[in-house]
Amino acid sequence: MTPHQPPIHPLIARLIDEFGYPQLDAGNLETWNAAPGDAVLFCAGDPVQYPECLDVAVVLPEILRAFPGRFRAGIAASELEPAMQARYGFNRWPTLVFLRGGAYVGVISGIQDWSVYLGRINELLAAPAHRPPSIGIPVSSASASHTCH
């Protein structure tokens, strides 16, 4: 951890220390992403600004228990989170990013009811990987008409 980074909240540190989820940073993210199979990347955000990230930190091990052996988890280091937000196109904290062999599958943002987690994760495990959404920057062709239709 660099001196400019805030200390990790104990509930998030527990995921690393007790459950063994790796803390991912620029030095190990691509290796983790390259591993085969399904994975979930926890992008918590600042616990002071987004306190529901602590709820997700408590729920994440339960999610993995509900889907034994189906995917692995990693925790994005705080300095990596802005890059993950840009890369995977989510706009809400906290977010669980679901990946398959490093390719984007989908996200679940915020704290959810347990039934929502179960249903959405089943959908994501059955879904193909695809291109992540953009973060809302409009794209237009240089030759496109600028009038309304």
In the chain, where the domains are located = 10-126
Give the Cβ contact number of residue 121 at 10 Å. 21
Task: Tell me the mean pLDDT in the region 98-125.
Answer: 97
Angle between helices 10-17 and 52-66 (to 10 degrees): 30
Q: Say whether pLDDT at 5 is over 80.
A: no
Q: Say whether pLDDT at 149 is over 50.
A: no
Interval 55-105: pLDDT, tens: 999 999 999 999 999 999 999 999 999 999 999 999 999 999 999 999 999
pLDDT of residue 7: 84
CB 60 within 8 A of CB 42: yes
How far is residue 77's CA from residue 24's CA, in Å, rounded to a whole number?
A: 6
The burial of 26, by beta-carbon neighbours within 10 Å (0-12 exposed, 13-18 middle, 19 or more buried), is given as exposed
Q: Say whether pLDDT at 4 is over 90.
A: no
- Report the share of the chain in percent with pLDDT over 70: 86
Class (C level, CATH) for 10-126: alpha beta
- Report the share of the chain in percent with pLDDT over 90: 84
Residue 137 pLDDT grade (very low, low, confident, very high; cuts 50, 70, 90): low
Task: Tell me the mean pLDDT in the region 32-49.
Answer: 96
**pTM exceeds cut of 0.75:** yes
Helix spans in 23-98 (H): 29-34, 52-66, 81-88
Torsion of CA 78, 42, 109, 11, to 10 degrees: -80
pLDDT of residue 36: 95
Task: Tell me the mean pLDDT in the region 47-62.
Answer: 98
